[in-house]
Amino acid sequence: MHKSDIPKTYRVKSFGCQMNVYDGERMAELLEAKGITPAPEGEAADLVVLNTCHIREKATEKVYSDIGRLVKSGAEAGKEPMIAVAGCVAQAEGEEIMKRAPAVGMVVGPQAYHRLPAMLDRAVKGERSTDTDMPEDAKFAALPRRRKVAPTAFLTVQEGCDKFCTYCVVPYTRGAEISRPFKELVDEAARLVDAGAREITLLGQNVNAWSGENDLGHAVGLDGLIRSLAALPGLQRIRYTTSHPNDMSDGLIAAHGEVEKLMPYLHLPVQSGSDRVLKAMNRSHTAGSYLKLLDRFRKVRPDIALSGDFIVGFPGETEAEFEDTLRLVEQVRYAHAFSFKYSPRPGTPAAGMNHQVAKEVMDDRLQRLQAALGRDQLAFNEASVGKTCEVLVERKGKLPGQWLGKSPWLQSVFFEGDAEIGDTVRVELAQAGPNSLKGRVLERVAA
């Protein structure tokens, strides 16, 4: 790598989960604090941060081809960009990236990106560096304050995972479970609201495992944090994701019936409806215990929208076991869900298991599962027609005078009328499609 000028413009490209989106925003703020500005849309940036995801499918190969593309288009333009690789592929691959991709100047893991500015100083002098340390806590304290944010903001409250599901790479790339301190989170949430946030989504790989001590010194769980955040004036909506069935507390379930700002939505991955497969996945819950848990949420919040994650074709999954998953879907009737083909992750126990399922079988199962989930999603949206609800306006729609926002159940709702981004409008849901609803404005509630 050559010495180069201090970059003037940057672009952060985030892949994968919402936590990566949050991390990407924070890296952008670190760069802006150094006077580097976002590259205008369509223009090449002096510095590109690839904020990578390692959870499924040829993640690593994709990073190398992205790097190749950047180098090629840089060479054509007569100026190669400075490249940083961040995120979970950076954590998993580390030095290997440095060896294979000489164009990369910085490799930084998800727990070390607060050190990006110092790495950048070195890169300008022509020194390449890798940082995949996992220092507890240090990162958040070192990040700059946020200035202006969208009406919907993410707040990472918990990171890492100790569950070691046998297919999953997260415990290796994101490290052990840690909870950020209560006060730090309440302060950051207050600043987000000051900067324009109306809805905050609390993020964590196991967000419902969050624990801390409140301002009175009492031990509290996620429900305690949610109740404290609900007291922030100006904050209208609270959501959280992603939860693990085994960390669900009575308090959090109760909060869904009591805290008005907590939205009626629950993302609770189940992965499979077969108890044998769940055991092989090391999920430590059964289909039955999962269904019972959902019943408790529905009891306190009958209209709650349920969401989940599924994996088809886990090693050894039989047709009958896959049908158990379809049966579970039929029982739950999800409002929304994510479903994936099993993808062996290097270093995870499942990658070495016998009886890997053939690709065609996985394709077929995924198609059948997605057909069932799609039907249920449409049915959920259709059942919403005729209801009135509040929509938090997030952006302009495609047509002139059209706006787009989310219902309390996280459905996309578009409507025509007088509004601004960040407004809350009361609408009647008039028409349903598989991925969105059309609303008719009744009144503007808050701006």
**Binding residues vs ligand SF4 (CB under 6 A):** 161, 163-165, 168, 170-171, 205-206, 244
56 binds, among ligand 5AD, ligand SF4, none (CB under 5 to 8 A by kind): ligand 5AD
Shortest approach of ligand SF4 to residue 165 CB, angstroms? Answer: 3
Distances (CA, A) of 276 to 284, 320, 397: 11, 11, 46
User: In angstroms, what is the minimal distance from the CB of 88 to ligand SF4?
Assistant: 11
- The pair of structure tokens assigned to 384 is 């919403």
Q: Quick one: 40 exposed, middle or buried, by C-beta within 10 A (0-12, 13-18, 19+)?
A: exposed
Please choose which of ligand 5AD, ligand SF4, none residue 180 contacts, taking the beta carbon within 5 to 8 angstroms, the exact cut-off set by kind: none
User: Which of ligand SF4, ligand 5AD, none interacts with 163 (beta carbon under 5 to 8 A by kind)?
Assistant: ligand SF4
State CA 15 to chain mean position distance: 10
The listed partner (ligand SF4, ligand 5AD, none) that binds 345, CB under 5 to 8 Å by sort, is: ligand 5AD
Q: Which residues bind ligand 5AD (CB under 6 A)?
A: 55-56, 167-168, 269, 271, 309, 311, 340, 342-343, 345
Cβ closer to ligand 5AD: 242 or 384?
242
Identify which of residues 81 and 313 has a Cβ nearer to ligand 5AD in the complex: 313
Task: Give the shortest CB-311-to-ligand SF4 separation in angstroms.
Answer: 9
Supply the DSSP symbol for 191: H
Closer to ligand SF4 at the Cβ: 314 or 380?
A: 314
Residue 157, token pair as written in the block: 């409250």
If contact means CB under 5 to 8 A according to the sort of partner, which of ligand SF4, ligand 5AD, none does residue 275 touch? none
| Cβ at position 436, least distance to ligand SF4 in Å | 28
DSSP one-letter string for 88-155: HHHHHHTHHHHHH-TTEEEEE-TTTGGGHHHHHHHHHTT--EEE----SSHHHHTSPPP----SEEEE
Distances (CA, A) of 427 to 8, 239, 417: 44, 21, 11
- Nearest distance from residue 340's CB to ligand 5AD, in Å? 4
d(CA 398, CA 378): 22
Pick the closer one to ligand SF4 by CB: 36 or 366.
366
Judged by beta carbon distances under 5 to 8 A according to partner kind, the member of ligand SF4, ligand 5AD, none in contact with residue 349 is none
Residue 202 or 235: the one with the smaller Cβ distance to ligand 5AD is 202
Find the residue with minimal CB distance to ligand 5AD: 309
**Residue 24 and residue 15: Cα distance in Å, rounded?**
9
Closest CA to 222 of 268, 177, 157, 175: 157
Buried b (16+ CB within 10 A) or exposed e, 355-377: ebbeeeebeebbeebbebbeebb
Can you tell me whether residue 293 is helix, strand or coil?
A: helix
Q: Nearest distance from residue 260's CB to ligand SF4, in Å?
A: 29
Closer residue to ligand SF4 (CB): 45 or 165? 165
Extract the tokens encoding 274: 């077969």
Q: What distances in angstroms separate CA 422 from CA 108, 152, 197, one per listed residue?
A: 34, 8, 8
Residue 164 interacting entry, from ligand SF4, ligand 5AD, none, C-beta within 5 to 8 Å by type: ligand SF4
- Least separation in angstroms between CB 58 and ligand SF4: 19
Residue closer to ligand 5AD, measured from CB, 279 or 438: 279
* Nearest residue (CB) to ligand 5AD, 31 versus 306: 306
Q: How many CB atoms lie within 10 A of CB 231?
A: 9
Q: How far is the CB of 348 from ligand SF4 (least distance, A)?
A: 9
Among 307, 245, 315, which Cα is nearest to 277's? Answer: 315
DSSP string covering 336-349: EEEEEE--PPTTSG
Q: Which does 311 bind (CB under 5 to 8 A by kind): ligand SF4, ligand 5AD, none?
A: ligand 5AD
Q: Return the number of the residue (167 or 265) whose C-beta is nearest ligand 5AD.
A: 167
